[in-house]
């Protein structure tokens, strides 16, 4: 019985054809994913009389920035953007600091009940945020923090998924580096911030993107804790703007949405390499 063996040239041709098909499929999927963003930007620059045509105009014929200038006349958009930026930056930096400390403890220290505590902490990921909002609100009211920005970023300092992700990444770093640093007289703080954290830059960058995006787009928290327009963040402000559509064209709402989307898109573009590297190199280990 003879077995047909493909020649290396034919095998390479098949691999090249499969690669081309995959590239075309991914390119088509990418176009479908980015089309709503392009339409959002185009509509925000379109005159209200020419918007929402069928088929849609992907490139505005008479581009105008009047839609952007009218947003701040209806809601304090600048103050809301500053509030969102303040909450997002504090929540991102604070949660990464807390997560790094906790992840280092779970990764490098051996203490009784460590695995049990870690499993209990991970079980919090299965609890919907809506179930936790009542005790959190009671706590914020007790601390007189309702209707303040502190009530938005203080609960966000504990980010369970970041602790889990960083702990898994720290486990992939050889402990021999720790032993070498301890021989030179380094303590745990030095090892964490001068050695472990720089080596974990891809994972930390990935978590920075996710935490910033979640905090920037958070609507449920501000809806519960914030009542005055001066303390509102952008997601809550967009709803206020939509309620005021009697005085603003729909293209103005699209302009406001564009201003909300751009910062998150910019953060992702700045850290996308680190994000991809963290996914590629951070083996999820038990």
Higher pLDDT, 83 or 19: 83
Task: For residue 226, give the 3-state DSSP assignment.
Answer: coil
Q: Tell me if 234 sits within 8 A of 215, measured CB to CB.
A: no
Alpha-helix residue ranges (DSSP H) falling in the chain: 8-44, 66-69, 71-74, 77-108, 114-123, 129-142, 150-153, 160-171, 175-183, 188-191, 197-199, 201-216, 220-225, 234-243, 250-281
Q: What is the mean pLDDT of residues 18-47?
A: 82
Q: How would DSSP label each residue in 157-191?
A: G--HHHHHHHHHHHHTS-HHHHHHHHHTT--HHHH
Report CA-CA distances (Å) from 86 to 2, 42, 234.
71, 29, 12
Q: What is the mean pLDDT of the chain?
A: 82
Tens-digit pLDDT profile for residues 221-249: 999 999 888 898 988 888 776 665 555 66
In the chain, CATH 1.10.3720.10 sits at 72-281
Superfamily of domain 72-281: MetI-like (1.10.3720.10)
pLDDT band at 284 (very low <50, low <70, confident <90, very high): very low
Report field, pTM of the whole predicted structure over 0.95: no
Region 151-159 average pLDDT: 92
Tens digit of each residue's pLDDT (9 = 90 or more) over 101-137 = 999 999 998 888 888 999 998 888 888 888 888 999 9
Q: Please write the tens of the pLDDT for every residue from 14-25.
A: 667 778 888 888
Residue 280's pLDDT band, with cuts at 50, 70 and 90, is low
């Amino acid at each position: 019985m003879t077995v047909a063996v493909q020649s290396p040239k034919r095998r390479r041709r098949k691999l090249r054809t499969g690669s081309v098909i995959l590239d075309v499929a991914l390119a088509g999927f990418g176009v479908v994913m980015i089309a709503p963003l392009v339409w959002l930007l185009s509509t925000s620059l379109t005159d209200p009389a020419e918007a929402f045509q069928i088929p849609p105009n992907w490139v505005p014929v008479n581009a105008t920035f009047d839609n952007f200038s009218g947003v701040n006349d209806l809601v304090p958009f600048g103050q809301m953007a500053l509030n969102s930026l303040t909450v997002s930056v504090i929540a991102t930096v604070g949660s990464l600091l807390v997560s790094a400390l906790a992840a280092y403890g779970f990764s490098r220290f051996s203490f009784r009940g460590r695995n049990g505590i870690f499993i209990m902490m991970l079980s919090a990921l299965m609890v919907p945020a809506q179930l936790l909002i009542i005790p959190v609100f009671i706590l914020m009211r007790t601390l007189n923090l309702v209707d303040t920005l502190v009530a938005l970023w203080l609960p966000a300092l504990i980010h369970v998924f970041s602790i889990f992700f960083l702990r898994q990444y720290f486990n992939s770093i050889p402990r021999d580096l720790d032993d070498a640093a301890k021989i030179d007289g380094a303590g745990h703080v030095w090892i964490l911030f001068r050695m472990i954290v720089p080596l974990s830059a891809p994972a930390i960058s990935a978590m920075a993107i996710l935490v910033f995006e979640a905090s920037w787009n958070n609507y449920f928290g501000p809806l519960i804790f914030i009542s005055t327009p001066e303390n509102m963040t952008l997601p809550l402000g967009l709803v206020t703007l939509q309620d005021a559509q009697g005085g603003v064209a729909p293209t103005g709402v699209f302009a406001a949405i564009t201003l909300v989307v751009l910062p998150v898109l910019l953060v992702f573009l700045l850290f996308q390499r680190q994000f991809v590297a963290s996914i590629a190199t951070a083996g999820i280990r038990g």
